[in-house]
Amino acid sequence: MGLELYLDLLSQPCRAIYIFAKKNRIPFELRPVDLLKGQHLSDAFARVNPLKKVPALKDGDFTLAESVAILLYLTRKYKVPEHWYPQDVQARALVDEYLAWQHTTLRRSCLRALWHKPVGAGCQVFEGRPKLAAWRQRVEAAVGEDLFQEAHEVIMKAKESPPADPTVKQKLMPAVLAMIG
Amino acid sequence: MGLELYLDLLSQPCRAIYIFAKKNRIPFELRPVDLLKGQHLSDAFARVNPLKKVPALKDGDFTLAESVAILLYLTRKYKVPEHWYPQDVQARALVDEYLAWQHTTLRRSCLRALWHKPVGAGCQVFEGRPKLAAWRQRVEAAVGEDLFQEAHEVIMKAKESPPADPTVKQKLMPAVLAMIG
């Protein structure tokens, strides 16, 4: 068995890995893990990631959790263009700094903001925010429009999804509350 | 000017960098930043790290924030033994996984626990917890008893420190509350 990626595209770190792998033509088997159905809590998934979190990677017998570690693993194992993780020590350090910063700062605040005002629930967050809209356009242009749409399809359609099963919702609630503090 | 490290040993990520640099005989100038005096909020420090957080690194004109990025920068720039960051792709991925996990999981929970029950305030957390005590002994043996004591001196004596200036305390509170959620 080759590379397997356990993802739910509702999750931002999962989308980052999905886009990175697709953009760099890294061959992988997508193993969908439906968070809203609580599939990440199953015993089967716990064998891939005992922490029961997506994203997770399996490469033969080797398993790996944490999006940053997975991105770096893919960078090292597959031939990806130099700009993703430059050889130059200082340029590389700035990539590491960003990868750490998005954990310590960006992701935490965004999780809170999203919990209160989900982008996917129909809020037009890009309207009237030219800097944010320009940033989105740059990202879309860099990864390619098709791949951008494909990776964001689930979250953009979140509003239309049927409501989550109340039992699963109850099961997930403590983890969500712990996550957003 | 050579390598400068801006640290307050009250902070765990700062201690990690301090221990790592000392253990590997990396020459550096220690630039103490007293968090309890709010020195990290000064304009002078903002020129080193605009996020106004320790740890921070300055190497000539190059500045870097985020403890994980700083540790990796030191690993790459200086000759440190292979075991810190192995060449083998899978072994290295497990180090990256740990470095990310301590951000997403360990540090967040510990910050909360410490806020409620500071280790430094005299709680005997190692008593009656043989696994935790054994882990501490392993760490102490690995880094060397003297360096371990030196790095932990401030936090172990926190109980005896004079109470923080109330004005500074008030200034710091929003950041602390945001951090521990």
Could you tell me if B44 and B50 are in contact, meaning their C-beta atoms sit under 8 angstroms apart? no
Q: Does A104 touch chain B (CB under 8 A)?
A: yes
Q: What is the CATH number of the domain that holds B156?
A: 3.40.30.10
Task: Determine the 3-state secondary structure of B51 from DSSP.
Answer: coil
Could you tell me if B69 and B5 are in contact, meaning their C-beta atoms sit under 8 angstroms apart? no
- All residues at 6 or more sequence positions from A108 whose CB lies less than 8 Å from its CB, including other chains: A181, B181
Q: How many domains does the structure of chain A reveal?
A: 1
Reported as half-sphere exposure (CB side, CA atoms, 13 A), residue B149 has a value of 3
B58 DSSP 8-state letter = E
Of A77, A104, A181, the CB nearest to B103: A104
The whole-number average pLDDT for the span A162-167 is: 66
Distance (Å, whole) CA B67 – CA B73: 10
Q: A77 vs B115, which has greater pLDDT?
A: A77
pLDDT at A83 over 60: yes
Asked if A89's CB is within 8 angstroms of B65's CB, the reply is: no
Could you tell me if A1 and A60 are in contact, meaning their C-beta atoms sit under 8 angstroms apart? yes
Asked if A180's CB is within 8 angstroms of B180's CB, the reply is: no
Rounded to the nearest angstrom, the minimum Cα separation between A78 and chain B is 11
Of B76, B92, B97, the CB nearest to A65: B97
Distance (Å, whole) CA B32 – CA B171: 20
Burial-class residue B73 by CB neighbours within 10 Å (0-12, 13-18, 19+): buried
- All residues at 6 or more sequence positions from B114 whose CB lies less than 8 Å from its CB, including other chains: none
Q: Does B124 touch chain A (CB under 8 A)?
A: no
Could you tell me if A100 and B102 are in contact, meaning their C-beta atoms sit under 8 angstroms apart? no
Which tens digit of pLDDT belongs to each residue from B39-70?
999 999 999 999 999 999 999 999 999 999 99
pLDDT tier, A50 (very low <50, low <70, confident <90, very high otherwise): very high
DSSP string for A65-111? ESHHHHHHHHHHHTT--GGGS-SSHHHHHHHHHHHHHIIIIIHHHHH
Torsion angle of alpha carbons B91, B93, B97, B98, nearest 10°? 30
The whole-number average pLDDT for the span A104-128 is: 63
Range of the domain at B120: 3-180
Which tens digit of pLDDT belongs to each residue from B69-121?
999 999 999 989 999 999 999 999 999 999 999 877 766 555 555 544 455 55
Strands (E), chain B: 3-7, 29-32, 56-59, 62-65
pLDDT confidence of residue B181: 45
pTM comes to 0.81
Of A103, A105, A108, the CB nearest to B100: A103
Q: Does B76 touch chain A (CB under 8 A)?
A: yes
Structure tokens at A6: 């356990």
Which tens digit of pLDDT belongs to each residue from A118-137?
555 567 778 889 998 999 89
Of A64, A67, A92, the CB nearest to B93: A64
Shortest CA distance to B30 belongs to which of B148, B174, B151, B143? B151
DSSP string for chain A? --EEEEE-TTSHHHHHHHHHHHHTT---EEEE--GGGTGGGSHHHHTT-TT--S-EEEETTEEEESHHHHHHHHHHHTT--GGGS-SSHHHHHHHHHHHHHIIIIIHHHHHHHHHHS-GGGT--TTTT-HHHHHHHHHHHHHH-HHHHHHHHHHHHTGGGSPPPPHHHHHHHHHHHHHHH-
Q: How many CB atoms lie within 10 A of CB B80?
A: 18
- All residues at 6 or more sequence positions from B75 whose CB lies less than 8 Å from its CB, including other chains: B84, B85
Task: Determine the 3-state secondary structure of B110 from DSSP.
Answer: helix
Asked if B51's CB is within 8 angstroms of A105's CB, the reply is: yes
pLDDT at A34 over 90: yes
Could you tell me if A150 and A4 are in contact, meaning their C-beta atoms sit under 8 angstroms apart? no
A·B CB contacts under 8 A: 80
Query: Does the complex come out with an ipTM higher than 0.85?
Result: no
Rounded to the nearest angstrom, the minimum Cα separation between A68 and chain B is 7
Task: Determine the 3-state secondary structure of B36 from DSSP.
Answer: helix
Q: Does A132 touch chain B (CB under 8 A)?
A: no
Query: Three-state SS string across B159-178, please?
Result: HHCCCCCHHHHHHHHHHHHH
Of A66, A77, A93, the CB nearest to B73: A93
- The distance of Cα B104 from the centroid of its chain, to the nearest Å, equals 16
Rounded to the nearest angstrom, the minimum Cα separation between A181 and chain B is 5
For testing contact with chain B, the best of A5, A97, A106 (most B CBs within 10 A): A97
pLDDT tier, B162 (very low <50, low <70, confident <90, very high otherwise): low
Search chain B and give the residue with CA nearest A73: B93
Question: Which chain B residues contact residue A181 at CB under 8 A?
Answer: 108, 180-181
Which tens digit of pLDDT belongs to each residue from B135-157?
989 999 998 999 988 888 888 77
Q: Does A111 touch chain B (CB under 8 A)?
A: no
Search chain B and give the residue with CA nearest A62: B90
Q: Which of residues 19-48 of B touch A (CB under 8 A)?
A: none
Q: CA angle at residue B26 from B22 to B29, to 5 degrees?
A: 85
